[in-house]
Structure 1
Amino acid sequence: MNLARAVLSCLMASFFFASAQTLTDPLATSETLNLYAKLSKLSGKAYLVGHQDALAYGVKWKYEPGRSDVKDVTDDYPGLYGWEIGGIENAAALNLDSVPFDEMRSFIKQGYERGGVITISWHGDNPLTGKSAWDAAPGSVAAVLPGQTKHAVFVKQLDAVADFLGRLKGDQGEPIPVLFRPFHELTGGWFWWGTKGNTAEEYKALFRFTVDYLRNKRQLHNLIMVYNTSNGLKSKDNFLERYPGDEYVDLISFDAYQRGEPELSKSFAKSLDHDLSILGKVAKERKKIPAVGELGYNQIPDTRWFSKTLHPVFKKHQMAYVLFWRNAGFKAKENEMEYYVPYIGHPAAPDFRTYYQAPETLFQKEAAHLKLYQKD
C-alpha cells in the first residue's frame, strides 16, 4: 500500500459526515453499532469495494486457501465480502451457487477477522409453490403473511436463516455483524417477492415481519437491514413506493448491470449517475446509508470500464460501498463464462489496478486501518 493510501486510511475521520445516521435496532451489539456508525460517516471521499463469493472461487479455480481474484490482481482482498444463503431454508449442504455452508461460515469469519465487512443476500425458494426464488407466481407474498396459508412455511424458512446468521461468531464469541439484504431487486418482476402479482403494501408487510421476527423473536442483534431495489430509478417516490419504513431500514441501495457492447458504457454511466443522484437525495432525507448493492459488466469487454466508466461517476456521489458480482467462471449449463472482476491476464486487469489505487476506493488493507468494529 503506497504512502498516500496509508495516510488516507489513518486520516479517514476527516472525511466523515457531520451527522451520523442511527441504527434501527436499539439492542444492536457493540460491534454492529460501531460498524454502522463508521459506515454512516463514510463520505463521498471514499467507499468500500466488495466482491461476491470472493474467497470461495474465481476464474479457473475453486477453494484454494487464501486466494481471491481481487487479491491476485491487486495484492489485496476486497473490503466487503458478499455471500448468498439461498438453499439454507431447505437444510441443504450447499447454497444455490454450490458453496458449502460450512465453508461459507469459515470464509465469513476470515473476512471479519481481517477487518472486512460482510453482506448476505437470500434467494429463498417460493413458499407458495415450493419452486425457486425466480418463480414469480402471483399472490406469493400475500400467501406468506401472518394468518395466511403459507405463513408457517415461511416462518420455518426464516428459522433456518436465523440459525445460520446466529452461528456467525468471531474469536471471542461475539456475533459477526451482517449487512442483510433480503428480498432484493424488489422493483423487478422476476422474484416471488417482486412486483408481479404482489402489491406494495404486501411487500412492506413481508419486510416488516421478517425484521421483527429475526430481531424480536430470534433475538438477532447483529443485522444491518438493507432495502435494495433494481436500477432505473424514476424518482424518489418511485424508489420509496415499497419502502417498509424508516424503523425497518438501515441502508438503501440498488443493483445495476451493464449489458451489451462497450459502446454503451457512456449511456450506462449516465443512468448510474442518475440513479445515484436519486439514491443520495433519499439517503439524506431519510438519514439512511446509500450503497450499490450489486454491480457488474459480465466478462468486462470494456477494458477501461472501472477507471473511465465507474470511477468518474462514483466520485460525484456519497455511498458506503459497492459490491461487484461473482466470478463464477465457466458455467456448463449456460455454456458461457461469468465474471465481473478481472483475473490475472485479463485485458481489464491493469485498469482494475488503476481503480484500486484511486484514493476513493477502500479494499481490505484500508478497511483494517479503519477498525470498523471498534469505537473511535
Structure 2
Amino acid sequence: MKRNILTLIIALFIGTSCSSKDRNSNTNLSLSDKKATPETVALYKKLGQLTQKGYMFGHQDDLAYGVNWKYENGRSDVKETVGDYPAVYGWDIAGIEKGNPKNIDGVPFDKMKQFIKEANERGGISTISWHFDNPATGKDAWDNTPNSLKTVLPGGQNHKKFTSWLDNAATFFLSLKDKNGKNIPILFRPYHELTGGWFWWGKGNTTPEDFKTLWKFTIEYLQKKGVHNLIYIYNTSSFGSKEDFLANYPGDNYADILSFDSYQNDDDKDGKKFVEEVQNQLKIVNEIGLEKHKLIALAEAGYEAIPDPKWWTGTLNKAIGDYKISYVLLWRNHGWKEKEQKMHYYAPYPGQVSEKDFIDFYKLDKTLFEKDIKN
C-alpha cells in the first residue's frame, strides 16, 4: 500500500513538473515569412532553443558610443564592465526614409552596417526599430497628429511617398551581408510601443483596422522587394489585458515575436511598481505566446542612470522572474545631455554605482551574453 502511494506521489510530481514546464516554454515555432532565408530560419529556431537556457541581454547602440566615448573600435560599455559583449544589439533606422547619411541619434548608416556585420561574425544578434517621421506633416515620429497613418495606406495621399521610404529600408536590409555574401538575419520591430499615444501610429491616433492594414502592407511590400531576412516583432507599451495587447495585432502570419517595453521611473525608486507591471504583462504575453506558438521578449527596458546599486539582480532579474523570454534590451548609453543637464544611460560602465551588481547579473546561469550564444 505504501509503495502504491509513493508511486502515485512520484507520478503526480512528475506530471506537475512537466505541465509547469510546458506552461512556460514554447515549441512548434515557425516563421511568418514562408520564403525566409535559411539563415533567418536557423536564427529563429536558435532563439527558441535559447529560451530553454535563459534570456539574452541586449543594449541599444552598444558598439557606436558609450559614456564619454564615441566610435572607438571594439569599445562597449557592457564589455568593459563584464568582459563580454551583449548577445543582442539594438539599432534604429530613423532617417533612412529621407536618405539621410545618419540616423536619429547621429549614427552613420555605413557605421551601423559595419557594427551589425561585426556583431554577426562574433555570433551576436541585431534588432532594428524605426522612429520614422510623420509622413503627413513632415515632423518627427512624436508628432501624433490624428489620422496621419491613414494617408500612407493604399489610395492615400502619402502612399507613394511611404513606399519610397520602404524602398530605402529594403535596400538597407538587403545590404546587410556576412563575409560569405549571405543576408544577415535581423529582428525587425516596426511601429513599436503601439499601445501608447505618443507616435503617429499609436493608440488613439488611428483605428485598429487601419493599423493592421499598414502592418500587413509593410511586411508584404518588403517581401515583394525580396527582403526575407527579417523576424518580425509586434511591440506595445503598457496594457492591461489580452484584448488590449491584441487590439492591433495583425495576425499570426504577420508576427514572430510578441513583446512590450517597460521602464522604471524616478517616482518608483524601489522598483516595486516596475516589477509588478512587468510581471503582470509577462503573464499575459506568455499566455498569448504559448497559445500562438510565438516567442516573447521585453524589447526595451531600463532605469535611467541606474541609481540603484542592486538594480540588476534585485529588480530587473526579479521582474523577469521565471518567464522564458527571448531577450531583454536596455536603452542606449548617450552620456551627458547638455540640453537637459543630466546623464542619460541605461547600462553600466566601469565605476558606475551598479557595476558590481551587473557583474553578478552577468554570472547568473540564465543571463545570456554574446559568449553564451556563440555556438
TM norm structure 1? 0.92
Distance (Å, rounded) in 2 between the aligned partners of 1:142 and 1:309: 40
Aligned residues: 354
Distance (Å, rounded) in 2 between the aligned partners of 1:106 and 1:309: 34
Correspondence 1:323 to 2:329: yes
Change over 3 Å in CA distance of 1:257–1:301 after alignment to 2 = same
Q: Which residue of structure 2 lines up, in the alignment, with residue 229 of structure 1? A: 236
Distance (Å, rounded) in 1 between the aligned partners of 2:49 and 2:242: 22
The answer to whether the 8 Å contact 2:26/2:48 transfers is no
Amino acid at match of 2:231: I
The farther-off stretch of 82-91 and 315-324 is 315-324
Q: Which residue of structure 2 lines up, in the alignment, with residue 140 of structure 1? A: 148
Amino acid at match of 1:288: K
Amino acid at match of 2:294: K
The answer to whether the 8 Å contact 2:32/2:253 transfers is yes
Distance (Å, rounded) in 2 between the aligned partners of 1:48 and 1:127: 34
Change over 3 Å in CA distance of 1:130–1:274 after alignment to 2 = same
SS in structure 1 of the partner of residue 84 of structure 2? coil
Amino acid at match of 1:111: A
- 1:209-358 map, 5 Å: 209-215=217-223, 217-231=224-238, 233-261=239-267, 263-358=269-364
TM norm structure 2? 0.92
What are the Cα deviations for residues 27-71 of structure 1, in whole angstroms up to 9, with x where unaligned? 111110000011123336401100000000000011110000000
- 1:11-30 map, 5 Å: 19-30=27-38
Distance (Å, rounded) in 2 between the aligned partners of 1:161 and 1:315: 36
SS in structure 1 of the partner of residue 227 of structure 2? coil
Choose from 203, 206, 209 the match for 1:195: 203
Q: Which residue of structure 2 lines up, in the alignment, with residue 372 of structure 1? A: none
What are the Cα deviations for residues 289-308 of structure 1, in whole angstroms up to 9, with x where unaligned? 10011011000011111101
SS in structure 2 of the partner of residue 102 of structure 1? helix
SS in structure 2 of the partner of residue 356 of structure 1? helix
The answer to whether the 8 Å contact 2:33/2:228 transfers is yes
Shift of the alpha carbon at 1:130?
A: 0.8
Distance (Å, rounded) in 2 between the aligned partners of 1:111 and 1:60: 22
Q: Which residue of structure 2 lines up, in the alignment, with residue 9 of structure 1? A: none
Shift of the alpha carbon at 1:261?
A: 4.7
Change over 3 Å in CA distance of 1:300–1:261 after alignment to 2 = farther
The alignment-based identity, stated in percent, is 49
What are the Cα deviations for residues 328-361 of structure 1, in whole angstroms up to 9, with x where unaligned? 0012232221000011101100010000000000
The answer to whether the 8 Å contact 1:20/1:41 transfers is no
Q: Which residue of structure 1 lines up, in the alignment, with residue 76 of structure 2? A: 68
Larger radius of gyration: 2
What RMSD, in angstroms, separates the aligned Cα atoms of the two structures?
1.5
Distance (Å, rounded) in 2 between the aligned partners of 1:18 and 1:98: 38
The answer to whether the 8 Å contact 1:307/1:351 transfers is yes
Unaligned 5+ runs, structure 1: 1-14, 370-376
Shift of the alpha carbon at 1:171?
A: 0.2
Shift of the alpha carbon at 1:26?
A: 1.1
SS in structure 2 of the partner of residue 208 of structure 1? helix
Distance (Å, rounded) in 2 between the aligned partners of 1:185 and 1:178: 19
What are the Cα deviations for residues 164-221 of structure 1, in whole angstroms up to 9, with x where unaligned? 1110000000000000001000011110101132011111111000000001x21111
What are the Cα deviations for residues 205-251 of structure 1, in whole angstroms up to 9, with x where unaligned? 11000000001x211110000100002x2111110000011000001
Distance (Å, rounded) in 2 between the aligned partners of 1:263 and 1:95: 33
Distance (Å, rounded) in 2 between the aligned partners of 1:112 and 1:43: 19
Distance (Å, rounded) in 1 between the aligned partners of 2:277 and 2:99: 40
Change over 3 Å in CA distance of 1:343–1:31 after alignment to 2 = same
The answer to whether the 8 Å contact 1:137/1:196 transfers is no
- 1:1-20 map, 5 Å: 19-20=27-28
Q: Which residue of structure 2 lines up, in the alignment, with residue 180 of structure 1? A: 188
The farther-off stretch of 282-291 and 43-52 is 43-52
The answer to whether the 8 Å contact 2:58/2:330 transfers is yes
- 1:12-161 map, 5 Å: 19-43=27-51, 45-161=53-169
SS in structure 2 of the partner of residue 39 of structure 1? helix
The answer to whether the 8 Å contact 2:279/2:321 transfers is no
